[in-house]
Amino acid sequence: MTIQVLDHPLVHHKLSLIRDRKTPGSLFRSLIEEVGLILATESTRQLPVETVVVETPLERTGTLRLKSLDPVLVPVLRAGLGLLPSFLKLLPTAKVGHLGLYRDHDSLVPVPYYRNFPPMLEARPVFVLDPMLATGGSASEAVRQLKSAGAVNLSLVALLAAPEGLERLHGDHPDLTIVVGAVDRQLNEKGYILPGLGDAGDRLFGTA
């Protein structure tokens, strides 16, 4: 499994504001989108390119363009929706799949409630978007469902991860590429990331 942790001053700075319980929802959403742009830039680093010839106003030249079919973005509802605008900004022709999962409050087991994936998953790079990787149960289930629908080239993109979640994914999906903004200390007894940022979905959508 490949794990890339963004160790970037802008990510640290914005995360410090995102973590702050006093940060209002509107600013929280904007900051997630801003960090999302950095996550989108880094997680697409391996997309294949090919040389094409264009005429600049001055001469003909060979230049690089993305080679693959349009990538697929799969936000895990709800909190993954917070990262989607940033990815679509940089990959405007991407296809978007949706996967609804919520974590049962007692068992922490992910419960699927919605699924709509675009076709040709086997031929496209697929990016699973979810800001929080806690126990890893939701991410593991998302990747399992996408693999069973044909996806082979899968990356998981998260803002914060717990070591427990990374370990779980390493066991369940050793072929997965993971890009995370930061790795926090641990989970608490309710499966929340410490120090973390609280419940990402509730803070994004004002439901707490």
Ligand X SMILES: O=P(O)(O)OC[C@H]1O[C@H](OP(=O)(O)OP(=O)(O)O)[C@H](O)[C@@H]1O
Residue ranges that bind ligand URA, judged by CB under 6 A? 79, 132, 134, 191-193, 196, 199-201
Q: Pick from 134, 143, 151, 178: which binds ligand X (CB under 6 A)?
A: 134
Q: x/- binding map, residues 109-128, to ligand X, per CB under 6 A? A: -x------------------
Minimum distance between the CB of residue 68 and ligand X, rounded to whole angstroms? Answer: 27
Residue 84 sits in the site that holds ligand X (CB under 6 A): no
Answer for the pair 180, 42: CB distance below 8 angstroms, yes or no: no
Q: Which does 165 bind (CB under 5 to 8 A by kind): Mg ion, ligand URA, ligand X, none?
A: ligand X
Single out the residue of 196, 3, 200 nearest to residue 103, CA to CA: 200
Contact window for ligand X (CB under 6 A) among 60-68, 121-129, 170-178, 198-206: 198-206
Q: Pick from 135, 145, 153, 155: which binds ligand X (CB under 6 A)?
A: 135
Q: Which does 110 bind (CB under 5 to 8 A by kind): Mg ion, ligand URA, ligand X, none?
A: ligand X
Residue 130 sits in the site that holds ligand X (CB under 6 A): yes
Minimum distance between the CB of residue 145 and Mg ion, rounded to whole angstroms? Answer: 19
**Per the annotation, does 1 bind a ligand?**
no
Q: Which does 193 bind (CB under 5 to 8 A by kind): ligand X, ligand URA, Mg ion, none?
A: ligand URA
Minimum distance between the CB of residue 19 and ligand URA, rounded to whole angstroms? Answer: 11
- SS3 annotation, the chain: CEEEECCCHHHHHHHHHHHCCCCCHHHHHHHHHHHHHHHHHHHCCCCCEEEEEEECCCCEEEEEEECCCCCEEEEEECHHHHCHHHHHHHCCCCEECEEEEEECCCCCCEEEEEEECCCCHHHCEEEEECCEECCCHHHHHHHHHHHHCCCCEEEEEEEEECHHHHHHHHHHCCCCEEEEEEECCEECCCCCEECCCCCHHHHHHCCC
d(CA 140, CA 126): 14
List the interface residues with ligand X, window 140-179 (CB under 6 A): 165
Binding site for Mg ion (CB under 5 A): 199, 201
Point out which residues bind ligand X (CB under 6 A).
Answer: 76-79, 101-103, 108, 110, 130, 132-139, 165, 191, 199-201
